[in-house]
Amino acid sequence: MHHFAYRDGALFAEDVDLRRIAAEVGTPVYVYSSATIERHYRVFEEAMRAINPSRPPHVFYAMKANGNLGVLKTLAALGAGADTVSEGEVRKALAAGFPPEKIVFSGVGKSEQELAFAVEAGIYQVNIETEGELDLLSRVAAKLGRRQEAVFRVNPDIGAGGHAKITTGSAANKFGVSFEEASRLYARAANMPGVRMMGLAVHIGSQIRETEAFEAAYAKMAGLVGSLRDEGHRVERLDLGGGLGIPYEIPKSFDHGPSLIQDYAAMVGRVTKGLDVELGFEPGRLIVGNAGILMTKVLHLNPRPSKQFLVVDAAMNDLVRPAMYEAYHEIWPVTEAAADAKQVAYDVVGPICESGDTFTTGRELPELRPDDLIAFMTAGAYGASMSSTYNQRLLVAEVLVKGAEYAVTRPRQTFEELLGTDRAPPWLA
């Protein structure tokens, strides 16, 4: 579901004509829809709350998916928490208005300085991923006179995901303490001055479109909750991570059918029935994926005997998913094509100097000309947040739409900002 649709021959974000944004802000530009973000959050939160109304869940938005301040403030205002993975994310979550008691800190390699910052800020929970981190967290927190609430992220040896690079739950992946070690570590942690173990966390991968792998992993975790309790430990929280996938192939209508969210909620209810734990969730892509597009302009055509290249002003530094994961993004012309428009198979490429800078090959699109605008759909998650300045390209502008209004929530980077932070070594200054 999303709020990008054609109206009077042009693609709109809610009630804003994308051509207006292109004219006023320029391209490339990310455009996000508040209504879509709000709806996704509400649908997810309500479905998870219905699992066990007597123990409301925590929904921690995985802000790595999209850390735009406007997006974060929209979610903070809805009451969401934040799942963070670096000091920068903790700082940005706080700046966006997420209360510390709704922030969790995950990640494979947290440094002493990062842990100290998070503990001092008073965050809700640290998701510990290694024994070394357990020792470090306890030491850091004890030094600050604190006892930090924490859970162990356990690797259930069940992975899944839309691509090998985004699978995290198998034993071959770097994430979490091993399932077999969880009991020993839990017992060790009980005697440590700086931590208070509250439970367990798991996250098996991303862009997962069926519930089977989740179910297998969660069932294992539920078993572990039981055995830890049998050993006398207190296990009050079970953080089930993120990873629910979204449709990247979308019909041009407002809604696309029954939701995976309901199946997922039913499955979680089944697996955690009678467990009496406080559930946590860390959705990222599900909340923001379909809520954003990357609008770009056609610069040139480059016809070859065997193919037609369409060179656009966005590149792999702006949206790396196709180059990095062979990801598919639909491409919609911003000006609606006539029903009988000639179709051309394009290789859509960016200006960067490597062949990997290809968004798609042989994609049938209505015939396009220089200066035409097109939109990469479903670019709200892991789009802008993974962008870089490769080839000394400016980070693109980001815009948040609400109804008939829009705001530039991240102005296009300037050349002064891009070049101004470099320092020449003294011997060459």
* Angle ∠(355,347,399) on CA atoms, nearest 5: 90
Reply yes or no on whether 329 is catalytic: no
By beta-carbon proximity to ligand LLP, the closer residue of 12 and 207 is 207
By beta-carbon proximity to ligand LLP, the closer residue of 333 and 380 is 380
The residue written with tokens 């303490």 in the block is: 177
What interhelical angle do 87-95 and 69-77 show, nearest 10? 60
Annotated binding-site residue? 243: yes
By beta-carbon proximity to ligand LLP, the closer residue of 70 and 284 is 284
Annotated binding-site residue? 146: no
Burial class of 182 by CB neighbour count within 10 A (0 to 12, 13 to 18, 19+):
buried
- Least distance CB 280 / ligand LLP (angstroms): 10
- Least distance CB 207 / ligand LLP (angstroms): 6
Annotated binding-site residue? 325: yes
Provide the token pair at 122.
């008073």
Annotated binding-site residue? 282: yes
Binding site for ligand LLP (CB under 6 A): 62, 65, 83, 106, 166, 168, 203, 206-207, 241-244, 282-286, 321, 325, 381-382, 386
Question: Cβ of 50: how many Cβ atoms within 10 Å?
Answer: 13
Tell me the three state secondary structure of residue 189.
helix
CB 213 within 8 A of CB 158: yes
Active-site position among 353, 424, 428, 429: 353
By beta-carbon proximity to ligand LLP, the closer residue of 21 and 396 is 396
Annotated binding-site residue? 285: yes
Q: How does DSSP classify residue 403?
A: T
Tell me the three state secondary structure of residue 151.
strand
- Least distance CB 244 / ligand LLP (angstroms): 6
The span from the CA of 45 to the CA of 49, in Å, is 6
By beta-carbon proximity to ligand LLP, the closer residue of 207 and 272 is 207
By beta-carbon proximity to ligand LLP, the closer residue of 332 and 382 is 382
Q: How far is CA 22 from CA 17, 30, 248, 287, 330, in A?
A: 9, 10, 24, 25, 19
Best CA proximity match to 293, nearest among 7, 18, 35:
18
Best CA proximity match to 290, nearest among 313, 256, 337:
256
Side chain identity, residue 238: L
Annotated binding-site residue? 283: yes
User: Length of the chain, please?
Assistant: 429
Annotated binding-site residue? 406: no
- Least distance CB 286 / ligand LLP (angstroms): 6
- Least distance CB 85 / ligand LLP (angstroms): 7
Phi, psi dihedrals of residue 263, rounded to the nearest 5°: -60, -40
**Active-site annotation, residues:** 353
Which residues are annotated binding-site positions for pyridoxal 5'-phosphate? 243, 282-285, 382
Q: Which residues are annotated as a binding site?
A: 243, 282-285, 321, 325, 354, 382
